[in-house]
């Protein structure tokens, strides 16, 4: 079967995405998707874009979307790059910026795609352990490096660094590219975007998959100095000139312009997270302090894999990462109130609290 594979394909250890199964009555809390739908204005814009014009290629520069994002984030359009989900934007950044003669630094517990891209693109990387509280310590990054990538809030811990700590990291490393992956920043983190003006080496990556409930559309973006954005464009135009279709551009643009809906749904997720954490603590779980749309929890009485499997029996799907430091934990996405009730009822049943 592997007869025709390239050496690259043979040697890869691909990222394993969260399960997307078809189970009746499933409570799906394993992929950090939004429990609420996208902005109604975004849906309307996408319906309008599903038209005869689809026979034409989309704008390769996604000009309107980049302008809307520039207005939203207070930067210039040439400081914005968009791609097919932030995964694609991150992958381009690994090639365009992070691949340097010296190693790329990232935490031992973080987004598990970083080691995958490092392998695919042949980056030398150096892993920096989180501290005992599962926190990133920027002091630990004071070492020789070619580039740095940090998810803030981190995944799967949900723990956020303050903007002042990112500023410190940038002060420590003015001469190398520093990428801050802000996939979850809208749920209580402090964005590093205001630091872009003074730091031409800072790239901030965000996504529409979480806080804008558009995971199915695949839109992510990067903000940074125009020089960094130009490097991303060079890679994009060496790979796929049209990463975002007409429907994606229309929906994403309308979503960015609907600030009221965005703020309201983020606030609902944050309220849901607080309620869910409280209930889990009530059942004896240890809950790491989350600034994301998920919580990272462990129960002193049960192992992570065992608990995840038991919840699955109750049609409640959560994520478990079977690596030494993360094995005792479950990552649970904030769902609707009903989802939380189902989760808590199932967990209580498993723990014999009924």
The interface with ligand PLP within residues 31-60 (CB under 6 A) comprises 32
DSSP class per residue in 94-160: IIIII--SSPEEEESSS-THHHHHHHHHT--EEEE---TTS---GGGG-S--SEEEEESS-TTT---
Helical (H) or strand (E) element with 286: strand 286-287
Structural contact between residues 158 and 289, judged by C-beta atoms closer than 8 angstroms: yes
User: According to CB under 6 A, which one of 81, 94, 106, 111 is a site residue for ligand PLP?
Assistant: 111
User: According to CB under 6 A, which one of 39, 79, 147, 207 is a site residue for ligand PLP?
Assistant: 207
Task: For residue 290, state whether it binds ligand PLP (rule: CB under 6 A).
Answer: no
- Of 32 and 201, CB closest to ligand PLP: 32
The interface with ligand PLP within residues 136-155 (CB under 6 A) comprises 151, 155
User: According to CB under 6 A, which one of 183, 203, 222, 295 is a site residue for ligand PLP?
Assistant: 183
CA dist 19 and 28 (Å) reads 9
Residues 6+ apart with CB under 8 A from 175: 201
CB of 327 to ligand PLP, least distance (A): 19
User: According to CB under 6 A, which one of 29, 77, 87, 295 is a site residue for ligand PLP?
Assistant: 87
Q: What is the dihedral of CA 37, 43, 46, 51, to 10 degrees?
A: 130
Helical (H) or strand (E) element with 261: helix 259-282
Task: For residue 118, state whether it binds ligand PLP (rule: CB under 6 A).
Answer: no
Task: For residue 326, state whether it binds ligand PLP (rule: CB under 6 A).
Answer: no
- Of 191 and 302, CB closest to ligand PLP: 191
Structural contact between residues 300 and 307, judged by C-beta atoms closer than 8 angstroms: no
User: According to CB under 6 A, which one of 26, 43, 70, 215 is a site residue for ligand PLP?
Assistant: 215
Task: For residue 203, state whether it binds ligand PLP (rule: CB under 6 A).
Answer: no
CB of 194 to ligand PLP, least distance (A): 21
CB of 209 to ligand PLP, least distance (A): 3
Give Cα separations from 266 to 119, 163, 188, 270, 272 (angstroms): 34, 20, 9, 6, 10
Residues at the interface with ligand PLP (CB under 6 A): 32, 85-87, 111, 151, 155, 181, 183, 207, 209, 215, 220
């Amino acid at each position: 079967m592997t007869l025709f594979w390239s050496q690259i394909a043979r040697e890869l250890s691909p990222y394993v995405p969260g399960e997307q199964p078809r189970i009746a009555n499933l409570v799906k809390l394993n992929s950090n998707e939004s429990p609420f739908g996208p902005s109604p204005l975004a849906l309307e814009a996408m319906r309008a874009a599903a038209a005869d014009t689809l026979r034409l290629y989309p704008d390769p520069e996604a000009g309107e979307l980049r302008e809307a994002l520039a207005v939203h984030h207070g930067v210039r359009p040439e400081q914005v790059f968009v791609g097919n989900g932030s995964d694609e934007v991150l992958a381009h950044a690994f090639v365009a910026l992070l691949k340097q003669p010296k190693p790329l630094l990232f935490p031992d517990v973080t987004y598990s795609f970083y080691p995958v891209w490092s392998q695919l693109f042949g980056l030398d990387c150096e892993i920096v352990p989180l501290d005992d509280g599962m926190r990133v310590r920027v002091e630990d990054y004071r070492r020789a490096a070619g580039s740095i990538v940090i998810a803030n809030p981190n995944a799967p811990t949900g723990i956020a660094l303050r903007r002042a700590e990112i500023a410190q990291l940038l002060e420590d490393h003015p001469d190398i590219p520093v990428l801050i992956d802000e996939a979850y920043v809208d749920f209580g983190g402090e964005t590093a975007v205001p630091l872009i003006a003074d730091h031409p080496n800072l790239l901030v990556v965000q996504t529409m998959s979480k806080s804008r409930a558009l995971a199915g559309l695949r839109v992510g973006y990067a903000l940074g100095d125009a020089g960094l954005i130009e490097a991303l464009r060079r890679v994009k135009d060496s790979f796929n000139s049209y990463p975002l279709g007409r429907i994606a551009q229309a929906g994403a643009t309308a979503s960015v312009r609907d600030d009221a809906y965005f703020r309201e749904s983020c606030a609902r997720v944050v309220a849901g997270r607080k309620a869910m954490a409280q209930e889990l603590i009530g059942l004896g779980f240890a809950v790491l302090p989350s600034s994301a749309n998920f919580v990272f929890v462990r129960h002193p009485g049960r192992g992570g894999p065992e608990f995840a499997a038991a919840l699955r029996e109750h049609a409640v799907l959560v994520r478990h990462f079977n690596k030494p430091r993360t094995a005792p934990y479950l990552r649970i996405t904030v769902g609707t109130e009903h989802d939380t009730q189902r989760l808590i009822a199932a967990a209580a049943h498993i723990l014999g609290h009924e």
